[in-house]
Structure 1
Amino acid sequence: MKPLPLLWLLMLLAAWPVSATVRQAPEPELRDLMQRTVAEAESFQDRFDAEVWLLDMSTRLKRYVRDPQERLTFLRLVHQEASKAGLKPDIVLALIHAESHFDRFAISSVGAQGMMQVMPFWKAELGRPQDNLTDNATNLRYGCTILSYYLKKENGDINRALARYNGSLGKHHYPAKVIGFWQDFWYVKP
């Protein structure tokens, strides 16, 4: 499989030390992993979009999720589930940043679980007691569906939807926190 020109260039730039005088190629395993991840990313319009978004977000997420394969798999899931639910993937990343700091095993003081801090009562409500809310795919499916519902219920008002998601409707701290993470870390210009 021939490397994709843009992906190759972006990875070279990301791996290039500022003081480098000799050209350094990215690690072959990382290049191969990126190519496989891009090829498996069904929720993107085209390969270019997938390459750019995955590389950009992977770089931003590196401090929270060290393993490149885990990071790319997670980002592909975020993009897929957010897209299915009609959400911007970068706002979902901001919500996860606020809720769990990217800890899939996080449990809140009220029992919410996983990256998106989903309440376990949803499993009983859906008749799916076997679902594991610390599984990223399951947690993202539940969380994105819930946020999407609240966003529709609030006629697109992201602040009210986030407050509902957090159970703090009428308060502004939580929506401001998520929007702050979005603006400071995760926002992607269209």
Structure 2
Amino acid sequence: MVNTLAQVVLAAGLLCSWAAWAGNQKEEAMADSVRLALSNAIKDTRPPQPVFRDEAGRARYQQWLTAMSDRLKRKLPDDQVRLEFLQSVWYESNRAGLDTGLVLGLIQVESAYRKYAVSMVGARGYMQVMPFWTNAIGDSDRSKLFHMQTNLRYGCSILRMYIDIENGNLYLALGRYNGSRGKPAYPNAVLAAWEKWKFPT
């Protein structure tokens, strides 16, 4: 009985700590040019096929894929799902000009790699994208936020926009992504998680 109670308390604590980080982007006024750029980025339906300048780039990608797959095996045990996830993360993060380790760290904090995660405020999927974004820059189909590549594309595009809005200040951009701009807990959590996902250059 004591063990069961302790397990319930621990589980509740973990749930609360996860929920505290879940995405809560705020709907903000955007310039028409920003809205159009985001909308065009979301509409791009190209599959996540990497393109390399040379064989060295291809080899480095394969090394990254192998290393990240090993690290992520416990969270995503299915080999095919893990491969597709990492290919999409690599493609979408590079497409948005983001470090792949940063994106993996943000996903760790936001959803713990759960495709169907839903926060208490309604944010969805791996990168905990708020549904209002589908109206602002998408086709209003909120169910698409549970599609792997679509969720990653929204999340990476939105984070890129926030970094640009904050003139490259990642700390403030991460706070804005979470709806907690100026508060240290969330940016610090993502930056700490990023350290675990960095790949040697």
Give the alignment's TM-score, normalised by structure 1: 0.75
Once residues 102 and 108 of structure 1 are traced to their aligned partners in structure 2, the CA distance between those partners, rounded to angstroms, is: 13
Which of 175, 182, 185 matches 1:170? 182
CA-CA distance at 1:127 after TM superposition: 4.6
- Aligned residue number for residue 75 of structure 2: 64
1:3 corresponds to: none
Relative distance call for 1:152 and 1:102 in structure 2 (3 A) is same
Partner amino acid, structure 2, of 1:186:
W
Corresponding residue for residue 9 of structure 2:
none
Q: CA deviation at 1:63?
A: 1.1
Amino-acid identity (%): 46
- 2:141 aligned partner: 130
Q: Does 1:92 align with 2:100?
A: no
- 1:42 is aligned, of 47, 50, 66, to 50
Contact 1:104 1:134 in 2 (8 A): yes
Deviation at 1:68, TM superposition (A): 1.1
Higher helix content, 1 or 2: 2
CA distance in 2 between partners of 1:164 and 1:41 (Å): 30
Residue 11 of structure 1: aligned partner: none
**Residue 138 of structure 2 is aligned to residue 101 of structure 1:** no
**C-alpha offsets along residues 135-174 of structure 1, whole Å, 9 cap, x if unaligned?**
1101001000000011111121111110000000010000
Q: What residue number does 1:115 align with?
A: 126
Aligned length: 150
* Aligned mates of 2:169, 2:98 — CA distance in 1: 13
Unpaired segments ≥5 residues, structure 2: 1-47
CA gap of 1:125–1:186, structure 2 versus 1, over 3 A, is same
CA distance in 2 between partners of 1:143 and 1:156 (Å)? 17
TM-score scaled by length of structure 2: 0.71
Read off the aligned partner of 2:194 and give its amino acid letter: W
Change (3 A) 1:127 1:182: closer
Q: Please give the alpha-carbon distance, in whole angstroms, between the structure 1 residues aligned to 2:52 and 2:76.
A: 22
CA RMSD of aligned residues (A): 1.4
Give SS of 1:133's match.
Answer: helix
Deviation at 1:130, TM superposition (A): 2.5
1:82, 1:92 within 8 Å by CA — same for their partners in 2? yes
Distance in 1 separating the partners of 2:74 and 2:149: 21
Residue of structure 2 in register with 1:147 after alignment: 159
Amino acid at match of 1:108: S
- 1:82 aligned residue: 93
Distance in 2 (alpha carbons) for counterparts of 1:72 and 1:42: 13
Q: 3-state SS of the aligned residue for 1:80?
A: helix
